[in-house]
Structure 1
């Protein structure tokens, strides 16, 4: 039982994780999924396409003769069926993941040379290869692309933004948008939504969801042959089995059901012989057979007749242990969502019921550590005809995804699964937002969330209202007239492409800019030094401005003062912001800088990190132990399967593994699909 009931200001432990969804009953997927994919951006979409039975086949001829030779070893097999380590050996490019390089080399031949050549792959669908999965996303398919300013241009070429088997030109047949070599964010966002529909993937997607909880659990297989009853007998012979008290109970849904403070989250309590619940919306009092079933009706009728006649009860009201009461009951009930067990002092020959009038003995049981009330949820009793008392076959067992098993039961081979919880945001007929909680059980979880939480400076004053952390917030300020060409300059902090986009945006409105960044302009790690000049002239123009920018608006050229080409842009390299002052000033510190600058807004664009607070694990995930997951510390994976090296069953793809371009992240989908195929083949071979 929760420590206190729900109130207007406080929720009980059953509901406290998400108070907005208290009124809604949890929707539970009883089937076990093979994959739950968290994130419905390009990564999640690509993986869903391949897990739906769409596999790539090499049909062209690569300019890489060694790769072509390797691919000809088994020309009739899909890449999914081949040895990805062998195929990708020796490939080089702009990704650290070899499978990403392999797929990109075949989908976009010679792309880094600026060429737009046809793909060397043929995609073929076989529905028998489908893998049961679901994709969970916060918004529409496309992920973060659905939230960006549609007027901006992509960093990558339009062809590099496309997903498997649907080229941008082919998509134009379904859409009137004009796609150039570099396309707008709005076109990309629409393309991803259309892709899901055109490729018939909608049934795999559950949009507008928020994942709140992912954890590993122990789960009993639904196959009853793998479940058994283990009675504990006392040293003296007993006429009834006792519940084991010396064994750690197996928990179906969790290794321990605890609330956030570490205490036991008791859903039921036994007080004065009554079973009660403070919060009934997520707590079930009864697991008796459905009243609509003929077996249930027969059992209820028979048990009432026997209770009325007094044949099964002694004077104390407890179940009799006489020989007459040990006859096989007329109804042998076994449901797919219930347990069968024996309770000391309660004769299992009587058909189960939670009705205190029908079965008063159940509600007069003494409290015991091994049979606490929370373990009585969703369980039923039935005896196997002919089985000896205390024998392993005394009770039938069937698994329940909602029940906590008694310690008297065990699975011969309990399987490790993941439990994924969250809620879906829906709109009612009246236009009000509603939330529906959900739960999935799955063998594997794929993290495809991207880097969606902006990094912060962590300096005094960052909480002030003129400090913003996204380009969209700057655009809103410009549209509202909060910043104009006559305003104090916007301070843009960062040296990545997002900062460059912000500078380009400000220049288009003739707004002055103060650009602050930590690295030296000639640092080889700057993204501008990695981009081809002919493909990204505007970014190299920003890089040139960063090199030439200074505090002065003029410079000396051949002994004469001349105006700078961009006098409304000032750059401060190797500089930090040490403080932001309330009167719209920022204090700059660096080897060559020590001043305070008046600003209108401060735009912080120093990268982002993934929001993985929903992931409940103590294991290290990153390549750098003890450091948070970020762009410089991706999740440590097996590069040929994309499975975490430290957490089995946990996979990652996209920016979480260092693949920040759409053309490369699809390799993660191929690696995971290949893993799934090989695991299936191995299971079949093992019988």
Structure 2
């Protein structure tokens, strides 16, 4: 059944919820877990290697972490995330992970159904988000155990619980998407999730005096959020829905809209912005050893994956990127060789097989450091510009893999007003959503929260901290209002009426 049929529920009285979460990837799943009565306590038998943090945890060991002072606990911690709560939750789940250790978590999870906070998680597909559409055979950048969510060990659901070795302990997207899908079922969260939903509008409202109804709220303070969209049911049937929520959480990730170069000819049919286009061309035998080269633009992991795919299929590659090969900002500089040999192979090729210093070690690959694309031409040519010259090449296809941007079209002004710099579009790296560091509530819009890549946490390992911060804030806030319910039965999930 659909989420909500406007033919059966009067439009002027749609249901009101404490929380609506937009996005059912690992961010939304983890937050749903914490809002469903699952509480993290210090494990009485555990000792954290950080003695200062361990002492703080012992001071209030009778309280769940969600009811403690997260700012106090986070103070002095350092890690690979700029969000202090993300670093805190990571060190509780994976103590000293950055030093190569695999210590067990120091948390013990208990479920208190009286602490269940009614909520809905809206997602375009089944739980797992973008992991369902990623290439199934490629390895994730993170270790499998870093992709897991609280409560269920990743290895318990994959590979029969066996460790596959250092390199092979990285997971495939297929394994990860299966883990997230099963996680929702096993943790009893399914009733909170509504699949195949597309949010088209989120706007803030306020409830006026009796009889005045609802109007747009241009001011700050309380009020409700109106969430509109449609649910795809029975094939191509679209059923509109409208919900009211006291709080909305943006957990949409950042893979909706590929970044573009903005150059002439980028709209031509041989120019693509997804690595899947390369795989499709190979599988349909439109590319092969005798084809003109493939141009790959970008110096990140997606571009490296495309290089590997092309080289493994004996397809010639022209690889252009803006940075110098020794630029310390290149992602390859941050990856241990033992864990990521395939990416270091690409980096070696980028370094040793440039257009200026060719050799026969990789005859089908040529890199163009410090080059940018000037244009794509209808005759299948691309023009590259280096420091001193222009170069034109005949190519079979171009892959522009220079990152992605979140698509917040359902918010006013595409959500740009929420960024650290409201004059620029939201960007996970350059202009993330400006949130309170310990609650993840948007500084520009109370009642609106953001987590995951939207606030700069691109790794599952760290986005769980956003779930902790938001859950702690909402549970404390709504507990005062008596919004918690005695039974953890959810609010109807995919059959909400």
Q: Report the TM-score, using the length of structure 2 for normalisation.
A: 0.89
Q: Secondary structure at the match of 2:59?
A: coil
Q: Is the aligned partner of 1:192 residue 2:186? A: no
Does the 8 A contact of 2:227 with 2:244 survive in 1?
A: yes
Distance apart, 1:178 and its partner CA: 8.1
Give the secondary-structure state (helix, strand or coil) at the position aligned to 1:190: helix
Q: In the alignment, which of 398, 422, 425 is matched to residue 628 of structure 1?
A: 425
1:219-242 residue CA offsets vs partner (Å, 9 max, x unmatched): 25xxxxxx658xxxxxxxxxxxxx
Q: Is the 8 Å Cα contact of residues 73 and 88 (structure 2) preserved in structure 1? A: yes
Q: Give the aligned partner of residue 228 of structure 2.
A: 421
User: Which structure 2 residues correspond to residues 221-300 of structure 1 after superposition, within 5 A?
Assistant: 250-252=212-214, 254=216
Q: Is the 8 A contact 2:125 2:196 kept in 1?
A: yes
Indicate how the Cα distance of structure 1 residues 24 and 647 shifts in structure 2: closer, same or farther if over 3 A, else same. Answer: closer
Distance in 1, matches of 2:138 and 2:459, equals: 16
- Change beyond 3 A, Cα 1:552–1:520: closer
Counterpart for residue 458 of structure 2: 660
In the superposition, relative to structure 1, how do residues 213 and 67 fare at CA in structure 2: closer, same or farther (>3 Å)? same
Query: How many Å separate the matches in 2 of 1:601 and 1:611?
Result: 26
Question: Structure 1: how far apart are the matches of 2:416 and 2:154?
Answer: 41
Secondary structure (helix, strand or coil) at the match of 1:53 reads: strand
Structure 1 segment 65-76 matched on structure 2, within 5 A: 65-76=51-62
Matched, 1:90 2:52: no
Do 2:144 and 2:169's aligned partners in 1 also have CA atoms closer than 8 Å?
yes
Residue 436 of structure 2 corresponds to: 638
Unaligned runs of 5+ in 1: 1-22, 221-226, 230-249, 257-413, 555-562
Provide the residue aligned with 1:513 in structure 2: 317
2:191 paired residue number: 203
CA distance in 1 between partners of 2:64 and 2:113 (Å)? 15
Specify which of 253, 270, 275 is matched with residue 471 of structure 1: 275
Contact 2:163 2:169 in 1 (8 A): no
Aligned with 1:109: secondary structure? coil
Closer, same or farther: CA 619–160 of 1 in aligned 2, 3 Å: closer
1:586–1:596 Cα contact (<8 Å) kept = yes
Rounded Cα–Cα distance in structure 2 between residues aligned with 1:119 and 1:140:
28
Match of 1:144 among 116, 130, 146: 130
Residue 26 of structure 1 contacts residue 439 of structure 1 at CA under 8 Å; is this kept in 2?
no
1:300-311 aligned at under 5 Å gives the runs none
Change (3 A) 1:650 1:192: same
What is the distance in 2 between the residues matched to 1:593 and 1:105? Answer: 50
Q: 1:111 offset after TM fit, Å?
A: 1.8
CA contact (8 A) 2:416 2:423 kept: no
Partner residue, 2:385: 589
Aligned ranges for residues 252-651 of structure 1 at < 5 Å? 252=214, 254=216, 416-427=223-234, 432-451=235-254, 452-551=256-355, 554=358, 563-616=359-412, 620-631=417-428, 632-651=430-449
Alpha-carbon contact 2:206-2:222 (below 8 Å) kept: yes
- For residues 366-417 of structure 1, give each alpha carbon's deviation from its aligned partner in whole angstroms, at most 9, with x where no partner exists: xxxxxxxxxxxxxxxxxxxxxxxxxxxxxxxxxxxxxxxxxxxxxxxx9511
Equivalent position SS for 2:20: strand
Q: Unaligned stretches of 5+ in structure 2? A: 483-497
Cα separation, 2, equivalents of 1:176 and 1:146: 23
Residue pair 2:32, 2:189 contacting (<8 A) in 1 also: yes
Task: State the Cα distance separating 1:67 from its structure 2 match.
Answer: 1.2
Instruction: Find the aligned partners of 1:480 and 1:535 in 2 and give their Cα distance.
Output: 32
Report if aligned partners of 1:26, 1:437 keep a CA contact under 8 Å in 2: no
Question: Highest CA radius of gyration, 1 or 2?
Answer: 1
Deviation at 1:609, TM superposition (A): 0.5
Q: Counterpart of 2:26?
A: 42
Question: SS of the residue aligned with 2:328?
Answer: coil
> Partners in 2 of 1:58 and 1:663 — Cα distance?
19
How big is the shift at 1:177? 12
Compute the TM-score of the two structures, normalised by the length of structure 1.
0.65
Change (3 A) 1:417 1:108: same
Alpha-carbon distance in 2 for matches of 1:593, 1:26? 66
Deviation at 1:530, TM superposition (A): 2.1
Deviation, structure 1 residue 681: 4.6
2:99 alignment partner in structure 1? 113
Shift of 1:171: 1.7
Aligned length: 467
Any conservation in 2 of the 1:99–1:640 contact (CA below 8 Å)?
yes
SS of the aligned residue for 2:421 comes to: coil
Query: For the structure 1 residues 173 and 55, does the alpha-carbon distance in structure 2 shift closer, same or farther, using more than 3 Å as the test?
Result: farther
Kept in 2, the 8 Å contact 1:553–1:564? The answer is no
Distance 2:210 2:151 in 1: 49
Larger helix share, 1 or 2: 2
Q: Deviations over 1:21-80 (max 9, x none)?
A: xx9748668332111111000000000000001121122211111111111111111110
Please give the secondary structure, in 2, of the residue aligned with 1:128: strand
Deviation string 1:537-585 (CA, Å, 9 cap, x unpaired) is 222222222122212674xxxxxxxx44222111111111010011111
Distance in 2, Cα, partners of 1:540 & 1:518:
19
1:536–1:592: structure 2 CA closer, same or farther, 3 Å change rule? farther
How far did residue 649 of structure 1 move? 0.8
Alpha-carbon deviation of 1:169? Answer: 2.1
Cα distance in 1 for partners of 2:361, 2:74 equals: 47
